[in-house]
Every structure is written in structure tokens, then in C-alpha cells.
Structure 1
Amino acid sequence: MTYFPDFAEYEYETPKPLRGVRTIGWLDAAHEFQKAHPSDEVLQRLQTVMSERVTSNIHASLIRGTMPCPICGVRDYPHPELLVGSTEIWLPDNDGGYFAAPSMIYHFISAHNYAPPKEFLDALFGFEPASNFRAQKISEDLMAEAMGFGADID
């Protein structure tokens, strides 16, 4: 998995950074990260938001298979319904943009005590699962825009 610092412009496999998208939780073993004991409330909220796929879907960029954790190497994650290690999750950031995180953020928080920034947690708890949010569509539209194809993202 590629490392990005929190709040970096999103430029994972893109010709240029995606407008308004910032990275959260793109960790690896070579870089330090903020740690704190995770609260049950944060883990439960992540489970709720990550498992919803009917009225909204925060998952984007699904891959075949599962990426191993770049910190501990595990690749058999609990809660298969969360798609940990197989997608990115995108959330509106409360400023008109988006946060993009690997779905492995759930593992990073629960197993490695990663402490996501307050802004991400605010977005997580402010997200309405019944909002008809479609991360894949937003991701595709912003990628098309970055490639110069134009898209309807507003």
C-alpha cells in the first residue's frame, strides 16, 4: 500500500491531484502515526458506515482480493462485510470536499491504535448513511476531471 500523510492531496494513481480530496490513514511501517486507544464508539460507527450499501456506499476502487497490512502483514481481517483491505472509503469532509482512506483504516484503528484526525472523525460521525452518497461515482467523476475528460460532479 502507498503511504500518504494525513491531509495530503489525493494523487493515488492519478495524473494530478483530485480536486478537493484529501488522504487519511494511508499508513505503512516506515512512518510514524498518531496513536490512541480506539473507542468502541469509533469502531462501531466505522462498522455501520462501511457496511451500508443500500442507501449509500462509501466504498470506491474495489480490488480483487485483499491487500496485506503494511504494518503487520495480516491479510485475513475480521468483519468481511467491511471489505477491509479491498477498497478505499470516501466521506464528505464538511468543507465541500472529501476524505479518501483505505478501507484498511478499520484495521489500523482496531489493531494498531491509529488515531485518525478529529476532522475525519467529525466527518464520520456527521455522515448520514441514508444520504444516497455514492463514493465510486464521485471518485470516477473526479478522476475523469483530472484526466481532462470533464465530468458532472456538482
Structure 2
Amino acid sequence: MFYEDLSEYDYQDEDAFVDRESGFRALWYRPAYTRLNVGWLEAGRPYPTGTVPTVFLEKLKAVQEVQWMNVCLGVHECGLCPEGEAPEGNGEVRIPGGPGLAYAAPFLITHYIAVHGYRPPQAFVDAVLAVDLDAWASARWPDVPFPWVPDDAERMLE
């Protein structure tokens, strides 16, 4: 699935977080913020390449360890890898940007960066580096590792 970097995300109307510890508890809501696509790559489509700071990639991987977002039942294989060698992903990551803005990336984004040399927009790099990882990692249900979940989010408790 391909989307231009920084185009408006419209794949799903709602954002949903799943509790990684239980795998069953979840919350979902219609975002009040604008979501911009980052890192939705597809074979045959050009994408920006270049190096990124190691600290950025490590922090993005750490975010993915604590945030389980829009997880689907099926999986998406990396279309840039040779068949049979492609890793799979089945979710997304949300990174808060400026006021009223969040970046929406596929879970395979760290693979795209590390293996295929994808260079995300600088605004996304800066936003990842600004994440308070300690606060996100310490979030426990019913809190989730993302700051803009509305109070009226629907919750499935188990």
C-alpha cells in the first residue's frame, strides 16, 4: 500500500490501540487531529533515501516496543524485499507532531529505514526524537502510549 509522505492519512477512520500486555483490551476513537502519512512504501515507486541518526532509528524501534496501533488480523509483507525473504507487519505507529497533527506510519517503517535506506521527512525524525519514551514505556492500561487519546474513547476491557 503506497501513500505519498506527508499526504493526509485516510486508510482507517478510527485509531485503535491494543494493550500489548493482555492482547485483548483495546480502545478506539475518531481522531480530532490530522494524520499525515510517512513511510508507506511500495515496489516500483520512488522514495527518498539517505542516512538517519542512529539515535532516531533506535528510538523509533523503542516506540514500536510500547505502542500497538491499528493491528490487523492479516499481515503485510515488505514489497521491496525478494519474495520469501520479506518480513511482515500488521500494524501502525502514531507519533505526535505539532498541535493537532500526528504522523501515521506502517509498522514496517523501521525495516524500510534500516534495510532499504528510506529517509523519512525531517519533521517526522524530529517528532520521534521529541517523544518522551520513559512516559510512553511506563503507560499501563487504561493509559496508552500516545498523548492525544480523548476521554470519551470507547474501551473493550476484555
TM-score w.r.t. length of structure 2:
0.68
Q: Does 1:70 align with 2:74?
A: no
Q: Distance in 1 between matches of 2:7 and 2:122?
A: 15
Cα distance per residue 1:122-143 (max 9 Å; x no partner):
11000112044545x84xx7xx
- CA positional deviation for 1:67: 1.6
CA contact (8 A) 1:45 1:125 kept: yes
TM-score w.r.t. length of structure 1:
0.70
Query: Which residue of structure 2 aligns with residue 26 of structure 1?
Result: 40
Q: Does 1:44 align with 2:55?
A: no
Q: Distance in 2 between matches of 1:89 and 1:13?
A: 13
Structure with greater helix percent: 1
Q: Paired residue for 2:112, among 104, 108, 113?
A: 108
RMSD of equivalent CA atoms: 2.7
Q: Distance in 1 between matches of 2:71 and 2:13?
A: 16
Say which SS state the counterpart of residue 77 (structure 2) adopts: coil
Q: Distance in 2 between matches of 1:152 and 1:4?
A: 30
CA contact (8 A) 1:92 1:98 kept: yes
Q: 1:38 to 1:97 in 2, by over 3 A?
A: closer
The total of aligned residue pairs comes to 127
CA contact (8 A) 1:88 1:101 kept: yes
Q: Select between 64-73 and 5-14 the one with higher mean Cα deviation.
A: 64-73
Q: 1:85 to 1:112 in 2, by over 3 A?
A: same
Q: Distance in 1 between matches of 2:52 and 2:122?
A: 13
Query: Which residue of structure 1 aligns with residue 21 of structure 2?
Result: none
Q: Does 1:120 align with 2:117?
A: no
Identity within the alignment, %: 26
Q: Distance in 1 between matches of 2:9 and 2:74?
A: 23
Q: Distance in 2 between matches of 1:25 and 1:89?
A: 11
- CA positional deviation for 1:65: 5.1
Query: Which residue of structure 2 aligns with residue 60 of structure 1?
Result: 69
Structure with greater strand percent: 2
Unaligned runs of 5+ in 1: 77-83, 142-150
